[in-house]
Amino acid sequence: MLKGFSREERSWIFYDWANSAYSAIVSASILPIFFKTVAKGAGLNTHMADSYWGYATSAATLVVAILAPILGTIGDYKNKKMQLFRFFFLVGVLSTAALFFTQQWLPMLIVYMITIIGFSGANLFYDAFLVDITGEERMDYVSTYGYALGYIGGSTIPFIAAIALIMFGKYIGVSAVLATRLSFLMTAVWWACFTVPMLKNVRQVHYVEPVPHYIADSFRRLYHTFVHIRQYKHIFLFLLAYFFYIDGVNTIIHMATVYGDSVGISSNSLILALLVTQIVAFPCAILYGRLAKRFGSNKMILTGIAVYILICFIGYRMTTALEFWLLAMLVATSQGGIQALSRSYFGKLVPKENANEFFGFYEIFGKFAAIMGPALFAIFSQLTGQSRYGVLSVMLLFLVGGTAFLLLTLKEKKKATREA
């Protein structure tokens, strides 16, 4: 499957395989369900538990959003990108392992927030390494294969192992609660082991030469870029669109399981649907990359946004397990594709020697957006007493983001026509 890739490309792709175990087990499935169970046992009602989960997700992403621009700017200096990647990777792995020791809902939320900081901080530098490991003509191809491999490997193999342990552990003397906690240790070990190729083979190719006072210089460079970012009209407009539509994507990732539980979908149905979603998402992510080569990545991103608008509508009306399955399959068709193509689309827009700085803005737009979506979901759920109105509110994010991205596409088409 990876014969056509260079050693650097394969090593970079394998990090998606490594950290996708976190996305599947901690962000999207087992931890949210475990948290809801623990919270209910402590006397919290369903909608308050949903709200606390949303607020915790928003608070953690706020920390990453605040740090991202300056971290990205520092990461542009020679050899700094890998140092910072390694630091946040370790924070993520160790805090994920620490979830094993949390059995009360409040400590669980706090450790969960730390895992988000580690996971998201490492992803900032991982995404920026895309410009170092391949050329523009292969970015869509490499990026979508990363997501695809993550789905079929990192999101599936450890997930199946964790579910098997939870369901059948009683036959070997392991309770469901202990098996759930062990799944977090399994996630940390998987993440750590399969990151080794990335640490060993990927190196920073594009960089800014170091200066004596690089932190102070980083703030000056960041200020200069921030002041002049509107001069990069296509980058600015893309980030504006991305701010809204990726917020919707992330909100659905983080809130789908707790929402499904709130409308009465059983835990077994939720977990099985999420497992099948990972398997279906594998070929769909690759398909998005191939269709992008034929039709253009901008058209495929718009397609993904349209699919997510439909997902929000189905989610608002959802009352049965069958409807949850339909929603899950729609998510599977577009989740990896829209994220992968957004990453490569942005990578082709930015100056390569300042890629990390610009990916810092990419991260801050994505993370500030990820604050708004879960908070919006939480507020509407709390005010109305029904989580379905929280799902409906997320549709607004896709409508605004899709409109802005369509405007960018029309501007690009107009520019290409004028140059021709």
CA angle 65, 66, 67 (to 5 degrees): 95
State residue 187's pLDDT score.
95
Return the residue matching tokens 């990578």: 347
State residue 259's pLDDT score.
66
Rounded to 10 deg, the angle between the 355-384 and 387-419 helix axes is 150
State residue 112's pLDDT score.
95
User: Of 275, 240, 270, nearest to 255 (Cα)?
Assistant: 270
Question: Which pair of tokens denotes residue 351?
Answer: 């100056």
SS3 378: helix
Distance CA 418, CA 93 (A): 50
Distance CA 391, CA 309 (A): 11
State residue 137's pLDDT score.
85
Q: What is the pLDDT of residues 73-117, one digit of tens each?
A: 777 778 888 999 999 999 999 999 999 999 899 999 999 999 999
Q: What is the dihedral of CA 328, 255, 31, 43, to 10 degrees?
A: -130
State residue 332's pLDDT score.
85
User: What residue ranges define each of the domains in the chain, with the CATH number in brackets?
Assistant: 8-202+211-419 (1.20.1250.20)
State residue 218's pLDDT score.
65
What b/e sequence results for 20-45 when a residue is b if at least 16 CB atoms lie within 10 Å of its CB, and e otherwise? bbbbbbbbbbbbbbbbbbbbeeeebe
Distance CA 191, CA 19 (A): 5
State residue 88's pLDDT score.
95
SS3 77: strand
State residue 348's pLDDT score.
86
State residue 213's pLDDT score.
67
Question: Which pair of tokens denotes residue 228?
Answer: 């002049």
Q: Name the stretches of the chain with pLDDT < 50.
A: none
